Amino acid sequence: MGSNEVKSYVLDTNALLWLMRADHSLGRQSVNMADDAMRSDSLFVSAISFWEVAALSMKGRLKMHEPVSDWRRRVLGLSIREIPLSGSIAIGAAQLIDFHADPADRMITATALEHEAVLITAYRTILAWPGNLMRHDARQ
């Protein structure tokens, strides 16, 4: 990505939930980054995040105030673009070295890497991961 190009950002699942709920866990700098990225059509979410929200909702671990399919439409209506899973993302996720085992985190991280995007995440294990990933602490 050249220095004159607009940066792209990928929200992890928690950052997406915090943004959609106006939760103050998402730091002011992250909110500003997300707002700017939405205006420039450069804010993304991995399709696996919608799976993760649906799975957590079905297990009763996440309270949703609307059906997840309606929530997804609302997310996408805010100029947040969905990146579908692909074979190259799946392979990249499997090949992450010294990365924890959570498959959703692997897919989200591989998505950010493949699209040369900054990952907005609060997960300490991802923030501390030594891999070549552009990342921003969502709590900031």
87-125: pLDDT as tens digits: 999 999 999 999 999 999 999 999 999 999 999 999 999
Distance CA 123, CA 108 (A): 12
**Residue 5: pLDDT above 90?**
no
pLDDT at 6: 65
- Decide: 119 and 112 in contact? Cβ < 8 Å: yes
> Hey, CA dihedral for 70, 71, 73, 77, is it positive or negative?
positive
**Residue 2: pLDDT above 50?**
no
- Decide: 38 and 79 in contact? Cβ < 8 Å: yes
Distance CA 55, CA 44 (A): 20
Distance CA 88, CA 68 (A): 27
* Segments making up each domain of the chain, as ranges: 9-137
- Token duo for residue 63: 């309270």
Distance CA 64, CA 100 (A): 27
Looking at CATH, the fold of the domain delimited by 9-137 is given as: Rossmann fold (3.40.50)
**Mean pLDDT to the nearest integer, 117-140:** 97
> Hey, CA dihedral for 46, 50, 56, 59, is it positive or negative?
negative
pLDDT at 76: 98
- Residue 78 identity (one-letter amino acid): L
**Residue 40: pLDDT above 90?**
yes
- Residue 25 identity (one-letter amino acid): S
